[in-house]
Chain A
Amino acid sequence: MTAVPTAPTIRTPRTGSRTPGEGRRAALLLSPTFLVLALVILYPLISAFHQSLYSSESGLDAQGFVIEGDVFVGLGNYLEIFAGAESGRFYNALGNTTFFTFTSVALETVIGVAFAVAMNRAFRGRAFLRAAVLVPWAIPTAVSGLLWRWIFQADGIANALSGQQVLWTAEGFASQVAVITAEVWKTAPFIGLLVLAGMQIIPEEVYEAAKLDGAGAWRQFRSITLPLVKPALLVAVLFRLLDALRMFDLPFVLIGPRKSSVETLSILAWDSSNQLQYGAASAFSIVLLVYVAVIAFVFVKLLGADVAGAGEQRRLRRAAAKRGGVR
């Protein structure tokens, strides 16, 4: 059984002592990558943090050029976000982001695992399924937003099929349902693929042993499949969580910007920078970044042992030990 590391275990070809030459060569080879990452990640990070401590008193002059006069406000922007006049909008965006993330990832996980089980059983249709599952993944999110906007039109196919008269793409809870539906459609198959890959490395003998002991399909799934794909599933769920937290394209295209029921932190930050409120925009994006980091940290801490595949060996042994007697 291969464990699922969060990073691939690194085995260097030669177990020799490090020579200074190799370190230099590695530094040389890695430097272009790090230069670019410094420009597109590190600089924005520092700049956003710096900018979030300033208030940009920007306006437009007669020619439409931006005038900027940055005033140092310290943590003023953050205070403004958390307790200022506009704080309602921030908490709303934070709530939406959290709600979208956890609801859609939970649904995706359930549907994805179900898909993986079905795909694992399908021998003949496997090529077709693999292609079908990749279609939602490959569609650009912006196009998927447009497509679901069309499906959810007032006189569109969704209302026609369900016999409802719901305004899905206006505001309110219906629009949140629309966003979550479109999100789950696009990403559940992806989780399915990752879980399927985890399933395919489970040795057949484990199932054979369980069958001999009279374990039914459900029991096999619960006691063997689920524990053994858990590492692959956790990696998939972590990726999806972090991805969903920065959701932007889908609500933006499907419902639109400045709609309070679907405004995520990303959209709020984007909108602020569009209004030339760079200080606020930077503060929002820093808050989002911290949120992403906290979720990642908590997730790895809570489930880290399993991500590293420690629980797996134990369960394998237990599954093998079960052959000892029928319950």
Chain B
Amino acid sequence: MTALTASARTTARNRREVLRSVGRWLGIAVIGVYCLAPFYWMLVSSLRRTSDIFDNSLLPTVWSVESYLKVFSGSSNFARALGNSLIVATTTTVLALALGIFAAYAISRLNFRFKSAILAVIIATSMFPGISVVVPLLRLFSDIGWINTYQAMIVPSLSFAIPLAVWNLTTFMKQLPYDLEEAAMIDGATKWQAFRKILLPLAAPGVFTTAILTFIHSWNEFIIALSMVNDPAVQTATVAISKFTGASEFQAPYGEQMAAGVIVTIPLVIVVLIFQRRIVEGLTSGATK
């Protein structure tokens, strides 16, 4: 123990407290600016008039939704692209969850050989570079006439969606106690009933979190959608945005690009704001448990 007198200790402590709280708020401010400033810039730029687009003022001098109207006007077909993204991401999520729930149940509740190896294989597949999936499947899909279809984007997307879903769901199900299911089975329920009536309802929050993560990943997917589709009518939003170009490289419609970027990102930001606690839990559970 150090031998400081009580009074000396309190003044030192007070000074340290002040310093610490200043440091704390400074840290919060720095992180906030770092994370939000670029996003804020996209939002502000999207709300300027095309004539003011190169202004660097913090707020638009004249607020305008001109860019947003342009995004949804006939030429860019952006509403269609958003619909395509929604279809692809939703289908991918539903399929990955359906398969993932059964796989995760088997891994978390059943005794069988090579379990760790099987889980390791499933996780290893998530390290697979997208391009290594795209190049061969592109040829296969050309041969069977799948180019420019939704399934040409959904099926390859499962290559990252399934490992993600299985991993997350397994982590969640492992945390759930087994006693309830066991009790139900002693009372004569079958394994299937115990799974359906007890485990599934308990795992619902985990399933929901996994759904959010999988959806965000599929919604943000780019390389598969870019390679498998060249018809603007089937293109997803991320690809459509990357192809928003004006007449020449020097006349890129920046306002429209920013507006489209905001539209694609806003739903995700809203989901993140509502479910932030769950998302962080889902993101970190695999790494710390």
Residues of A within 8 A of B (CB): 2, 4, 7-8, 10-14, 16, 18-19, 22-23, 25-27, 29-30, 32-33, 36-37, 39-41, 43-45, 47-48, 51, 66, 115, 117-119, 121-123, 125, 127-136, 138-148, 150-151, 153, 155-157, 160, 185, 189-190, 193-194, 196-198, 201, 212, 214, 232, 235-236, 242, 245-246, 248-249, 252-253, 265-266, 269-270, 273, 278, 281-282, 284-286, 288-289, 292-293, 296
How near does chain A come to B85, taking the closest CB pair, in angstroms? 9
Contact across chains for A37 and B140 when beta carbons are under 8 A apart: no
Contacts of A115 in B (CB 8 A): 31
User: How many B residues touch A, CB cutoff 8 Å?
Assistant: 101
Contact across chains for B272 and A134 when beta carbons are under 8 A apart: yes
Q: Which 10 A-B pairs have the closest CB atoms?
A: A118-B27, A197-B284, A13-B178, A246-B129, A140-B220, A47-B136, A29-B106, A40-B159, A44-B136, A26-B112
Interface bits B166-200 vs A (CB < 8 Å: 1, else 0): 10001100100010011000000001000000000
Q: A135 and B129 in contact (CB under 8 A), knowing A8-B174, A142-B238?
A: no
Contact across chains for B132 and A45 when beta carbons are under 8 A apart: yes
B222 on interface, CB distance cutoff 8 Å: yes
How near does chain B come to A44, taking the closest CB pair, in angstroms? 4
Contact across chains for B132 and A289 when beta carbons are under 8 A apart: yes
Interface bits B224-243 vs A (CB < 8 Å: 1, else 0): 00010000000000110110
How near does chain B come to A202, taking the closest CB pair, in angstroms? 11
Interface bits B1-16 vs A (CB < 8 Å: 1, else 0): 1100000000000000
B122 on interface, CB distance cutoff 8 Å: yes
Identify the stretch in B34-42, B60-68, B72-80 within 8 Å (CB) of chain A at 4 or more residues.
B34-42
Known: A4-B287, A282-B135. 7 other contacts (CB 8 A): A30-B107, A130-B280, A140-B219, A146-B257, A194-B283, A194-B284, A232-B288
Contact across chains for B135 and A269 when beta carbons are under 8 A apart: yes
Contacts of B277 in A (CB 8 A): 130
State the majority secondary structure of interface residues on B. Answer: helix
Taking a contact as CB atoms closer than 8 A, the residue among B34, B56, B241, B284 that contacts A157 in the complex is B56
Q: Could you write out 23 A-B pairs with CB less than 8 Å apart?
A: A7-B123, A10-B116, A22-B111, A23-B112, A36-B158, A37-B158, A40-B137, A117-B27, A118-B24, A129-B31, A129-B32, A134-B272, A136-B39, A146-B241, A150-B42, A153-B254, A185-B34, A185-B38, A194-B287, A245-B129, A270-B134, A282-B136, A284-B131
B208 on interface, CB distance cutoff 8 Å: no
Contacts of B115 in A (CB 8 A): 10
Contact across chains for B241 and A40 when beta carbons are under 8 A apart: no
